[in-house]
Structure 1
Amino acid sequence: MNAFPSKKVLVVGGSSGIGEAVAKAFAEGGAEVTIASRSKTRLDQAAQGIGKEVQVAVLDTADVAAVEAFFADRGPFDHVVISAAQTPTGSVRELPLESARAALDSKFWGAYHVARAARIAEGGSLTFVSGFLSVRPSKGAVLQGAVNAALEALARGLALELSPVRVNTVSPGLIATPLWSKLSDEARGAMYEAAAERLPARRIGQAEDVANAVVYLAATPFATGSTVLVDGGGAIA
């Protein structure tokens, strides 16, 4: 069923992982999808995999001028999704300050820049992707939890400021994406197996699970200011 016929959708971070799954879900719903990220090569690869005449745009969300120029040159989008981020892990006392600030620039300020400049049609939506560490902190990833919490708070405030544009957040748990490709097959498999045993859902999340939640929020006109957990029960386990 085409839930988004001819709707214009932008997925920032749509070149891999969760963002790519989100873009594919919208495209299969009949939307006119544009995916954006910093890598033209990865964008082209993702677009070929998604099909459906997906458009690509090279965009660095840390570059304020580039973000503003991108939206100034385009008409309004019906739905904008932001899943682009790089957030290194490490304890507060050991993670270099430069890395910590880079994480904020990537995940929080990048989303802030897009939210500030994006042109979204009335009744459309803006959706952030955060992470369940905002409510279930980890001593080895304190910064990530703080950034995710800030992103969710930003979305709630923007739901008021940008009304009637709707603003929501999807908060994933452990998701099997290329993010973990640097681990060996053995280490990655062991991590997934241990997590599946611990989680109430008894499985690891897939990018499509998160995409389902994003599409639900975009398609539900009464959903705004919400944070939807898609974590297999990680926040309560």
Structure 2
Amino acid sequence: MKLIAFDADDTLWVNEPNYVDVKEKLCELLAHYVGQDVLSERFYDAQMRNLHLFGYGAKSFMLSMIETAIELTNGAITGAEIQQIINVSRRLLDFPIDVLDGIPEVLETLSKDFDLMVLTKGDLFDQESKIARSGLGRYFKHVEIVSEKNEQAYQRVLERYRVQPADFIMIGNSLKSDILPVVHIGGRAIHIPYDVTWIHERVADEQLVGKSFTTLASARELLGLFGKITEQA
């Protein structure tokens, strides 16, 4: 094994609950214009429509919400209300990083025997800021921030580091982004589910049929798993 990569958001630290909280506050802000169900549906549509333009992350979230608010109010939303959307959404750029249980211990232990990488998607400045604020950067030899995590992206990363898929393990909470693409190119993947998953990252059960990967209940279980691998080596 030459390289172990960790997803960042909701694998190393809490992320999605912050977005859920901000979205709820924005729904409350716009409640006198439109119901929450309609707003949520149209907002998700805008996010999907804008992914190829804005990518993932807080800034994309903010722009899509502003666009949705303008559309649903037929332009009646005021400049002051748009400023409120910006102010609330801005919290996503500097929220305190809540590192998940066991992660520092796991990273400190594994970094002694393996090359570790953060492999995440999203806005470059936003993700770099979260890595810095987390205090975890010292454990990682490499950091890769990509616009999308699909088979092509993983192949490009492995080619850049001259690592064969069979010598690569990806660890993450998203079946869609962290697990299935890696399995499809012949790599190994470890799924550590998180309590909250963005709907865009969910996959149907039938997509998992015949796919081989490991599922752990928590990051702490990685110590036992990789301890066995080290002993076998």
Q: TM-score, normalised by structure 2?
A: 0.42
Relative contact order higher in (CA < 8 Å, ≥ 6 apart): 2
The structure richer in helix per residue is: 2
Instruction: Point out the structure with max Rg over C-alpha.
Output: 2
Q: TM-score, normalised by structure 1?
A: 0.41
The structure richer in strand per residue is: 1
